[in-house]
């Protein structure tokens, strides 16, 4: 059984486990892979958005006033790490259609496995918003740490990382690098191979989403 960690939630609903088994299959074609990433982001996002803040609101029903709750403050922000994170964007936006989107471009060097940042475009007032970073794969943690450090520098206080597959190495690196971030994942896998790919994993998520294998 995978080790458990503080600040890490494994979202293992039966539907998520079922979809993950198809996602991991090397014979799953690109279109189905892309659709599954979107569906998994929606299901996982439901859990990862539990901490969103609410405020009271009175609503007039056809019969009387109902005391309700709605999302409080400025719209939350979802930040896909390009490219593969884009595959999770639409599923999450189905849950929170009024969310803003910040884009962060990161590419892992195939030899050093270090991330190279190549693009960033964020909404305003990040310090007042709840931010969720999405990326299907969380291997060494280098890309996630670079994203978290960038967002902290922009003033982000409330930060969540949502991935589909995490390696223990990445989890430990991110928890050590940031004292507050909470991680949601659908699975914690065994380890990394010599090329820093997750085992058993699902291969290269970006290539499988965009058909660039
Ligand atoms: C993959 C993945 C993560 C990163 C994970 O992206 O989507 O961003 O690698 O690895 P790490 O935890 O060791 O940093 P990649 O750099 O392959 O780019 P892509 O999304 O364009 O395929
Ligand atoms: N990036 C991927 O897409 N897959 C891995 O296993 C590791 C990094």
Q: What is the mean pLDDT of the chain?
A: 97
Alpha carbon of 32 to ligand 2 centroid (Å): 18
Q: Is the pLDDT of residue 213 over 90?
A: no
Ligand nearest to the CA of 144: 1
Please identify which residue in the block is written with the tokens 């507050």. 180
pLDDT tens digits for 8-50? 999 999 999 999 999 999 999 999 999 999 999 999 999 999 9
Ligand nearest to the CA of 211: 1
pLDDT value at residue 1 = 67
Q: Please enumerate, as own/partner, the contacts of 56-60 that have beta carbons within 8 Å and a separation of 24 or more.
A: none
Q: What percent of the chain has pLDDT over 90?
A: 97
> For ligand 2, is residue 20 a contact (CB within 6 Å)?
no
Distances (CA, A) of 142 to 33, 86, 123, 195: 24, 18, 23, 14
């Amino acid at each position: 059984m995978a080790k458990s960690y503080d600040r890490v939630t494994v979202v293992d609903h039966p539907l998520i486990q079922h979809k993950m088994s198809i996602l991991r299959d090397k014979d799953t074609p690109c279109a189905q892979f892309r659709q599954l990433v979107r569906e998994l982001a929606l299901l996982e996002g439901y859990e990862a958005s539990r901490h969103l803040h609410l405020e009271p609101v009175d609503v007039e029903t056809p019969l009387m006033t109902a005391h309700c709750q709605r999302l409080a403050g400025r719209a939350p922000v979802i930040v896909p790490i390009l490219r593969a994170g884009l595959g999770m964007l639409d599923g999450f936006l189905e849950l929170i259609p009024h969310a803003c989107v910040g884009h962060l471009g990161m590419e892992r060097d195939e030899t050093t496995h270090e991330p190279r940042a190549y693009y960033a475009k964020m909404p305003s007032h990040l310090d007042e918003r709840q931010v969720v970073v999405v990326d299907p794969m969380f291997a060494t943690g280098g890309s996630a740490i670079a994203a978290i450090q960038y967002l902290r520098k922009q003033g982000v206080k409330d930060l969540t990382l949502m991935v589909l597959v995490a390696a223990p190495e990445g989890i430990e690196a991110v928890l050590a690098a940031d004292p507050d971030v909470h991680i949601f994942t659908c699975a914690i896998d065994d380890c990394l191979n010599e090329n820093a790919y997750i085992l058993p994993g699902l291969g290269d998520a970006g290539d499988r989403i965009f058909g660039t294998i």
